Chains A and B, each alone.
Chain A
Amino acid sequence: MKVNTELTTTKRVLMCGNEALAEAAIIAGVDAYFGYPITPQNEIPAYMAKRMPEEGRVFVQSESELAAINMIFGAAATGKRAMTSSSSPGISLMQEGISYLAGAELPAVIVNVMRGGPGLGNIAASQSDYFQATRGGGHGDYRTIVLAPASAQEMADVMPLAFDLADQYRMPVMILADGLLGQMMEPVLLEKKEKRKLPPKDWALTGAKDRPQNIVRSLWLKEGVLEKLNEKLQARYAQIAENEVLCEQYKVEDSDIVLIAYGISARIVKSAVTKARKEGIKAGWIRPVTLWPFPSEQISKAAEELRIFLTVELSCGQMVEDVKLAVAGKSPVLFFGRTGGGVPTVDDVLNQIRQLTIKHKS
């Protein structure tokens, strides 16, 4: 049997989500980390400040989130794997740079460990940046791939995927986590994953040695050129929507009520559905792992039969709009959530399930 020696260097450790993500990024070959302090993601820069120099790689604490995203822009333009992490207010500041990354077709990974908003909000876990993350966030016709881990293990697991997706499609990829996932400690198995087969970065700025000049740009003044670029990006986005949707589901076909949740909310929902099943309620769940591309097809398929859809989020209701688009009026779509740092308990969600299913039957 052929043994992959790289895969044998696995280790199982107790880590918080933020540190698991940071170590996984290092294993995935990140060349440079640039970031600015903000709670609740400070474990990531602290971890990187120690580990990146040990690996002979680059760590810079930037003077602002604006600078951090542009440092990534610079490193990415030379073909390096670069990342930053921040939390909601800081991610708002990065939107200019994310739009430029999208326009210049540069791969980069941006981690948002969400906290409550709007404004300075608070430092508790929240999921209220869904609109910003899945709609592009900055100016212009673009998308970012958005991955939503739901455990410390998945904080690690999404990193190699994020870098591969960024490189494959030459675009920014966002990890949308939250303060709970970032802070809580769980056992994590860290392992080196095989890279996808990726296209060569022949567009990178490496010095015009024995080749014509390379230019990385997002300004297209001549009539029709920007429209062509946007059409090219849209075609790429369509390809991603076709090939890269990730979601999990549980007992959807045999259910009267389907709960839709991502990230930490999905953990609560899973427990509530398990409890509901024990009470004889036919409940199931769908958990989007990619928030863009959204698992519309899977939800649409579930809506072919009349059942209740209940979206659970740590927000005032954002993903619920995508669920409604997917359900397209075929079934009722309801929302339950808490905001501003509030987190529903398993029993809170279970009560919602009970009430809705009783109402549905009567």
Chain B
Amino acid sequence: MKTVFKRTPTYKDVPTHYCPGCGHGIAHRLLAEVIDELDIRDRTIGIAPVGCAVLEYDYIDVDMVEVAHGRAPAVATGMKRTNPDKIIFSYQGDGDLASIGAGEILHAGHRGEQITVIFINNAVYGMTGGQMAPTTMLNQVTTTTPKGRNAVEQGYPMQVCELLAVLPGTIYIERCAMSNPAAIKNAKKALRHAFELQVEGAQGMSLVEILSPCPTYWRMNPPDAMAWIDREMVKAFPLGKIK
């Protein structure tokens, strides 16, 4: 029988702790595939965030560090500046990157740090039980917006890609989604490009935002959660290359 699909070596052969229908597992696999395709495993250092993906090092077989909430871009700066030959990536959620770590990502982009940022946007704090994130959609019900997010009191969903794109220090920014096979294939391409830029030594930061389903805290089943990304989330977070 012909093998048409197999696990990529950098993606460990272990079950993940993620909820059914969560997008992290798919994003992890794409990331591991890109690392293997570019043959950079032995010089890659990853940064795991505070959030559901904190145990990412249990699944992705590269050297990894776990850092304080929101501080990954500063940690990445310390790593890349002292190790310009290494490939440094951070993997951050929306609470981590867009809320508590808004200063760090802005300034890493501002300085044009030569790092690759994978930004998982699932419109909610997952690990802590489904609170409002900066990226929560208007009218979306969370534990801290029981009547739905209201723009007057809580602001609008934060468009991180668009914010960062105005900085001269960012060189590549694309928003993708884990919502259907075509979108997932496109996300793989975007991730690959973001890493290729760093491998080539391109001067600046690249960031791939991934709209990712959280069926548990969206109170949906997995197919509905994926459909909600394509139907609702893309209205606030349009897909495609921003820069």
Number of A-B contacts (CB under 8 A): 134
* Binding stretch for chain B, among A76-84, A118-126, A182-190: A76-84
**Which residues between 65 and 103 of chain B lie within 8 Å of chain A, taking CB atoms?**
65-68, 71, 74-79, 81-83, 86, 103
* Binding stretch for chain A, among B26-34, B42-50, B193-201, B220-228: B42-50
**17 A–B contacts, CB within 8 A, in A order:** A32-B78, A60-B111, A62-B107, A63-B104, A66-B71, A70-B78, A74-B74, A74-B82, A78-B79, A82-B78, A96-B68, A205-B65, A206-B45, A207-B42, A207-B44, A208-B41, A215-B65
Task: Report the minimal beta-carbon distance from A90 to chain B, rounded to whole angstroms.
Answer: 15
How does the 8 Å CB contact mask read for B117-147 relative to A, with 1 for contact and 0 for none?
Answer: 0000000000000000000000000000000
The interface residues of chain B lying within 8 Å CB-to-CB of A104 are 65-66
- Complex-state Cα separation, A96 to B50, whole angstroms: 14
Task: Tell yes or no: B54 within 8 A of A by CB.
Answer: yes
Q: Which of A71, A207, A213, A215 contacts B78 (CB 8 A)?
A: A71
Task: Tell yes or no: A64 within 8 A of B by CB.
Answer: yes
* Binding stretch for chain B, among A150-158, A167-175, A216-224, A314-322: A216-224
Task: Tell yes or no: B229 within 8 A of A by CB.
Answer: no
* Binding stretch for chain A, among B55-63, B151-159, B172-180, B207-215: B55-63
Task: Tell yes or no: B52 within 8 A of A by CB.
Answer: no
Task: Tell yes or no: B165 within 8 A of A by CB.
Answer: no
Also in contact, A100 and B68, with CB within 8 A (given A66-B74, A67-B104):
yes
Asked if A78 and B43 sit within 8 Å, CB to CB, the answer is no
Closest to A74 in B: B78
What is B's interface to A at a CB cutoff of 8 Å? 41-45, 47, 54-55, 57, 61-68, 71, 74-79, 81-83, 86, 103-104, 106-107, 110-111
Asked if B65 and A207 sit within 8 Å, CB to CB, the answer is no
- Tally of contact residues, A, Cβ under 8 A: 39
- Complex-state Cα separation, A78 to B80, whole angstroms: 10
Asked if B82 and A205 sit within 8 Å, CB to CB, the answer is no
The interface residues of chain A lying within 8 Å CB-to-CB of B75 are 70-71, 73-74, 77
The interface residues of chain B lying within 8 Å CB-to-CB of A78 are 45, 79, 82-83, 86
Asked if B79 and A219 sit within 8 Å, CB to CB, the answer is no
Query: Which 7 residue pairs of A and B lie closest in terms of their CB atoms, listed nearest first?
Result: A74-B78, A71-B78, A70-B74, A74-B75, A209-B42, A63-B107, A207-B43
- Complex-state Cα separation, A262 to B66, whole angstroms: 37
Asked if B103 and A67 sit within 8 Å, CB to CB, the answer is yes
Q: Which of B45, B74, B83, B110 has the most CB of A within 10 A?
A: B74
The interface residues of chain A lying within 8 Å CB-to-CB of B63 are 205-208, 213-215
Task: Tell yes or no: A31 within 8 A of B by CB.
Answer: yes
Task: Report the minimal beta-carbon distance from B14 to chain A, rounded to whole angstroms.
Answer: 13
- Complex-state Cα separation, A218 to B65, whole angstroms: 9
- Complex-state Cα separation, A193 to B63, whole angstroms: 33
**Which residues between 335 and 355 of chain A lie within 8 Å of chain B, taking CB atoms?**
none
